[in-house]
Amino acid sequence: MKKLLLVISILTAFSAVSLANGDYGTPGEFLNWGAGARSLGMGKAFTGLADDASAVYYNPAGLAQQNPYQLTLMHVILYEDTMYDFAAASVPFSGVGTFGLAYVRLGSSNFDGRSELWEARGNFDISNQAIFVSYARDIVGSLSAGINLKVIMESVYDKSGAGYGADLGLMFVPSEYVSFGLSVINLLPPAVKLDTLTETFPMVIKFGIAGKFLGERIIPTLDVEKEMSNKGLKFKMGLEVYPINDLAIRAGLDETEITFGAGYKFLKNYKVDYSLSSQELSQQLGVLGMTHRVSFTFMFGGFDVNVSAEPKIFSPVGTRKNTTLTIYASTKYPITEWELNIINEDDDVVRSYSGDDNPPASIIWDGKDDRGLPVSDGEYKCVMKAIDKNGKVNESGAESVKISSSLLNQPGTIELEE
């Protein structure tokens, strides 16, 4: 009897979560649980942003804007022997586009198997799984498109079935301040047959918008979702704020759920994200309630534009009269224009180099401005920009270089001419 009650409670919990999400009884409802703690902390309002590896799940077109390579992993223990897993990877290729791969699993184990005569048949598991293979690329200007091919697998006791489907996504980024996304889920709907029952997944259309303000320190998002087999619309809202570099605070809201979250990037290539959700309906039913989720992201390789200076301190009137600015520019698509600006402490450009096609491997700066006059002592920033054939601006971080005419023959400083 105890095991029977446990089975009933688990099944009730599954139903309660689906009901709380507005997806009760819908084929493929396990694919509405979300992907990655970052987007979950923003209420799953991610269609118009989709700028990390979870784009495979939300809007495959978002993969086209991604760099560097990313790997995201999430494992959530929901309740008694029930777990939800998500993994995704995105890999951009020069001149080709971006490929993505994702895996989703919702599973519950240790169910008591019984015959019609209530005879013990051992334990069994229930699982729902999906594998996504994605491709995205820029189409023209600020418009990109992406597609998912997916395999759905369901298993209950000794019954199992699989279905195949496809999703389509579009992403439009007209400026650095706003982006729009459109995702058609189950454009080719999977049909999964278990024994004599066949479930066909419904088509879902999602439209999203994301704002990017104060240098992407404030990012509000809004999603509108329409399931073609149901009436009405669903709305989701999210917000991501960076109070300091590498630390994000998030919040989200939809019709049934309030979410909060945070994220922190460390050691340059690693990120950890956390989300907390409160499902009002499931709390009333006495199951789930608060749900905690943590995901980890590893970033590496990809495309990059940077500039480095050597030496970092020099003087036009010393023995070290110039510095060599070494340029590295690897972009997804061929470079059509480039520009290297040297900026003073007042944020004025004192020297600018530019050209067409690929930039040179290095440029020697002699400490003079565009008029050929020596600049004053102080700190200067070197910023490299490379514009590809699609008009995307790839910008380096600021490399600091210092001009100092006051240091006399000290170790590690500048020797001056007599």
Q: Check pLDDT > 50 for residue 284.
A: no
Residue 348 tokens, joined = 């004025």
pLDDT at 282: 44
Residue 262 tokens, joined = 């945070």
Q: What is the mean pLDDT of the chain?
A: 86
Question: Could you give the count of Cα atoms lying within 13 Å of 277 in the half-sphere of its Cβ?
Answer: 29
Provide the terminal-to-terminal Cα distance of the chain, rounded to the nearest Å.
97
Reported as a single tens digit per residue, the pLDDT across 190-208 is 999 877 788 899 999 999 9
Q: Check pLDDT > 90 for residue 337.
A: yes
Question: Could you give the count of Cα atoms lying within 13 Å of 118 in the half-sphere of its Cβ?
Answer: 3
Q: Which of the 8 DSSP states describes residue 32?
A: G
Q: Check pLDDT > 80 for residue 383.
A: yes
Question: Could you give the count of Cα atoms lying within 13 Å of 15 in the half-sphere of its Cβ?
Answer: 9
Domain ranges of the chain: 2-297, 304-403
pLDDT at 160: 82
Q: Check pLDDT > 90 for residue 219.
A: yes
Reported as a single tens digit per residue, the pLDDT across 286-316 is 445 678 899 999 999 888 899 999 999 998 8
Question: Could you give the count of Cα atoms lying within 13 Å of 205 in the half-sphere of its Cβ?
Answer: 7
pLDDT at 410: 47
Which residue has better confidence, 166 or 81?
166
Which residue has better confidence, 385 or 193?
385
Reported as a single tens digit per residue, the pLDDT across 17-29 is 444 444 555 777 8
Which residue has better confidence, 231 or 289?
231
pLDDT at 249: 98
- What band does 155 get if pLDDT is binned at 50, 70 and 90? confident
Class of domain 304-403: mainly beta
- Distance of alpha carbon 91 from its chain centroid, rounded? 12
Which residue has better confidence, 326 or 118?
326
pLDDT at 246: 94
* CA–CA dist 156, 192 (Å, integer): 12
Q: Do domains 2-297 and 304-403 have the same CATH topology?
A: no
Q: Average pLDDT, stretch 210-232?
A: 93
**30-34, 110-114, 238-242: which has the minimum mean pLDDT?**
110-114
Asked if 395 and 412 count as a contact pair (C-beta separation under 8 A), the reply is no
Instruction: Enter the CATH code of domain 2-297.
Output: 2.40.160.60
pTM to 2 decimal places: 0.78
pLDDT at 168: 98
Asked if 182 and 191 count as a contact pair (C-beta separation under 8 A), the reply is no
pLDDT at 114: 55
pLDDT at 339: 97
pLDDT at 18: 46
pLDDT at 390: 78
- What share of the chain has pLDDT > 70, as a percent? 84
Q: Average pLDDT, stretch 378-399?
A: 91
Residue 302 tokens, joined = 């990809």
3-state DSSP assignment of residue 20: helix
* E strand or H helix that includes residue 14: helix 2-20
